[in-house]
Every structure is written in C-alpha cells, then in structure tokens.
C-alpha cells in the first residue's frame, strides 16, 4: 500500500466510521509506518483537523488500550494519590 492509497482509505472511510460509532471527537492512532507518517497523509490529516496520537517510533507494542492506560496514568500522577471516589471524579 502506498501513502496515496492510505490517504484515500482514510478519506473514504474515516468520517463514516466515526459517525457510525457515535464519535463526535476522536484521536487517530496509527503506527509509524512510512505511509502513515508521509507528508501527503500528514498534510491531509492537518487539513481535516484530525488529531493524531503521538506515538514513539521505537515502541514495539501497538496495544492501544495499554497506550491509553499509560497516558492516563501519567496524567493522573500529576495530581498525586486519591481515594477511589476522588479518582473517578478526576478521570471524568
């Protein structure tokens, strides 16, 4: 697959997919394959105001749940330790 084909796949399917999932806001997660990070695709994503999750190119693990867990954990450590109810409140 080329960057042009990948961009066309996004153009044809991304908005419809997010609409079908009921997502008004989303952050696109993709690996750092050259076609994903190409100037063509990056410019298209910028033009469409689509936010992309920053992803370390050396990360061998593409488990999105793990990535989100790590991100949330990093953000929450800024607030210190909480009791369960307070933690739920901070997450919201």
Question: What ranges do the domains of the chain cover?
Answer: 1-57, 61-92
**Which pLDDT belongs to residue 52?**
92
Tens of pLDDT, residue by residue, the chain (92 residues) = 999 999 999 999 999 999 999 988 899 988 888 898 899 999 999 999 999 988 766 556 666 677 777 888 887 777 777 677 777 776 66
Task: Write down the pTM of the prediction.
Answer: 0.61
Residues 65-88: tens digit of each pLDDT: 777 778 888 877 777 776 777 777
DSSP string computed for the chain: --HHHHHHHHHHHHHHHHHHTT-SS-EE-----TTTSSHHHHHHHHHTT-EE----TT-----HHHHHHHHHHHHHHTT----HHHHHHHH-
């Amino acid at each position: 697959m080329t960057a042009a084909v990948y961009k066309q796949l996004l153009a044809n399917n991304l908005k419809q997919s997010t609409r079908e999932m009921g997502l008004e806001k989303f952050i696109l997660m993709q690996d750092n394959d050259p076609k994903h990070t190409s100037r063509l695709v990056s410019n298209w994503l910028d033009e469409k105001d689509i936010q992309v999750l920053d992803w370390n190119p050396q990360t061998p693990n593409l488990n999105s749940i793990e990535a989100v867990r790590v991100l949330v954990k990093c953000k929450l450590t800024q607030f210190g330790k909480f009791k369960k109810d307070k933690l739920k409140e901070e997450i919201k």
